[in-house]
Amino acid sequence: MISLEYGSSLLEIAVPVQTEIAGMQHAPAPLIGADVIPHALRHPYNSLALVDIAAQKIAAKPQAKAVIVVSDNTRPVPYKGENGLMPHILRALIQGGFRESDILVLIGAGSHRNMLEPEIEEMLGLHASGFQEVSVLNHEYEIDEQLTYLGETRQGSRVMLNRLYMEADLKIVTGLVESHFMAGASGGRKGICPGIVGKETLNIFHGAKFLSSAQAADMVLEGNPLHDESLEIALMAGCDFLVNATIDAEKRLTGVFAGNLQTAHQAAVQKIRSYVMVPLPHRYDIVIIPAGFVGVNHYQTAKAAIEAARAVKQGGQIILVARHTDPDPVGGEGYKTSLKMLQATGRQKFMSMIMAPDWKLIQEQWQVQMWCKVFDVLENEKNLLYCALEIPEKDYEYLPGTPCISMISRDKNDRPEVVMRAMVEKAVEYACRMSDKNHPSILLLKDGPYGIPEVIS
């Protein structure tokens, strides 16, 4: 039996005896946010304390405005409550002289959908913490009136950025630092780009040229074109104070890195590098992986698939287990359009099309490009065994992979966990039958997209 993450619960799955389990090593001990967050804000990296920066801004302009950029709810950032970031950041600003009504929380979701009010309160807990007058807005990357032009990057990107952020007197960026399958690591500069840039800028950042680079990979910053572009844009926009967090596999706080945009982020990346890598003795015939917290829809599960592809043998099989909580369990319209193109043309032609100089980028095609990297390893798209309950049957007509829901019968009264357990066990049985080995090697990557497999030769 193995324990497999499924939403906020665990599934106990019966598997063959040869199944191995691997995960992140030596994660730091969890911390108490109520203790470490105020300390980090008072003793930041290469910066004045947040309260002192706030006081300086108010002294220079008594009606100063502050903006706090936050991630959306696809990221498990510990924001709410006494052990979360938000109450302590707001208190520092108020202590420095800001009024609640002069503070804006800006949801930097890039091209993701707008968050709804109940979702915002669940994520930030502002009202529950007693902050009634702090305003919250979704950044909408396609609305020109929300954007302002900053100039061009060395790569020729026209930088369009959220106008309210640029007009603010005090700019704070928050987020989570974890491995990122495109930009090397999340957090830091990514709160600004892609978080609050416009569609035109996002198109280049997520374009096929950048993503085709071998350096656009987990835990690679040096020479990574996405990191370089994101950092250049963030420095153009400016950031007075960064507040980034790190967490462990159980989503518990393990570090708070505050202060200078670059220095604090570098410290956080160095911290996670010490424990997110998952050493493996070899690649495996079958890799089982949960989609993790981030896997709210099919679009987001590509992040787990990329990690599994680092651990599976060429031509092997991946079993991906997801609980989708997003209102659309597949993803945005651009993502669906791109997947249908992939199905119609095949990988090689799809990649040739999106790499063409005159190609007009489709929003979210970048995630389909990442799926292509996975299928280059699997060789056959059917070698992706997809275990989820929420995707309508009609959508599997264009989704790549083998829908494992077709392997089981279900009763409407069955609990989701019961159905999922049966589905995953059937998927494992199926993968073993389809393998060309009598006893295929099987690996569970228990930390999902958060652990980074590395074969140690």
Residue pLDDT, tens place only, 42-69: 999 999 999 999 999 999 999 999 999 9
Q: Each residue of 217-242: pLDDT tens digit? A: 889 999 999 999 999 999 999 999 99
In angstroms, rounded to a whole number, what is the distance separating the alpha carbons of residues 198 and 217? 24
* pLDDT number for residue 112: 84
The side-by-side arrangement of strands in the sheet containing 241-247 is 135-138, 103-107, 66-70, 170-176, 241-247, 253-259
Confidence of residue 250 (pLDDT cuts 50, 70, 90): confident
Query: Given a cut of 80, is residue 25 above it in pLDDT?
Result: no
Distances, alpha carbon 124 to alpha carbons 37, 163, 188, in Å: 15, 23, 19
pLDDT at 244: 98
Overall pTM surpassing 0.75 (yes/no): yes
pLDDT tens digits for range 388-441: 999 998 999 999 999 999 999 877 778 899 999 999 999 999 999 999 888 999
Identify the residue whose tokens are 């990122």. Answer: 180
Q: What is the maximal distance between C-alpha atoms in the chain?
A: 74
- Output the CA angle 110-111-115, nearest 5 degrees: 85
First to last CA, the chain: 29
Q: Are 77 and 36 in contact (CB under 8 A)?
A: no
**Count of alpha carbons within 13 angstroms of residue 77, beta-carbon side:** 28
Which of 81-95, 213-227, 331-345 shows the lowest mean pLDDT across its residues?
A: 213-227
The per-residue pLDDT for range 139-149, each reduced to its tens digit, is 999 999 999 99
Beta 19-22 vs 442-445: how paired, if at all? parallel
What mean pLDDT do residues 28-48 have?
96
Identity (one letter) of the amino acid at 209?
K
Most confident of the ranges 181-190, 230-239, 448-457: 230-239
CA distance 142 to 192: 16
What's the pLDDT score for residue 189?
A: 97
Range 390-397 contact pairs with CB under 8 angstroms and sequence separation of 24 or more? 390/323, 390/324, 390/325, 390/329, 391/298, 391/324, 391/329, 391/330, 392/329, 395/329, 395/330, 395/336
Identify which of 302, 100, 334, 104 has the alpha carbon closest to the alpha carbon of residue 196: 104
- CA-nearest of 170, 225, 241, 217 to 193 is 225
Q: Which residues pair with 45 in a beta bridge?
A: 259
As to burial, measured by CB atoms within 10 angstroms (0-12 exposed, 13-18 middle, 19+ buried), residue 415 is exposed
Helix (H) or strand (E) holding 158: strand 158-162
The predicted pLDDT at position 91 comes to 98
Tell me 195's DSSP state: T
Average pLDDT over residues 19-31: 88
For 348, residues 6+ apart whose C-beta sits below 8 A from its C-beta are none
> What band does 204 get if pLDDT is binned at 50, 70 and 90?
confident
Average pLDDT, the chain: 94
Mean pLDDT of 114-122: 95
CA distance 440 to 316: 10
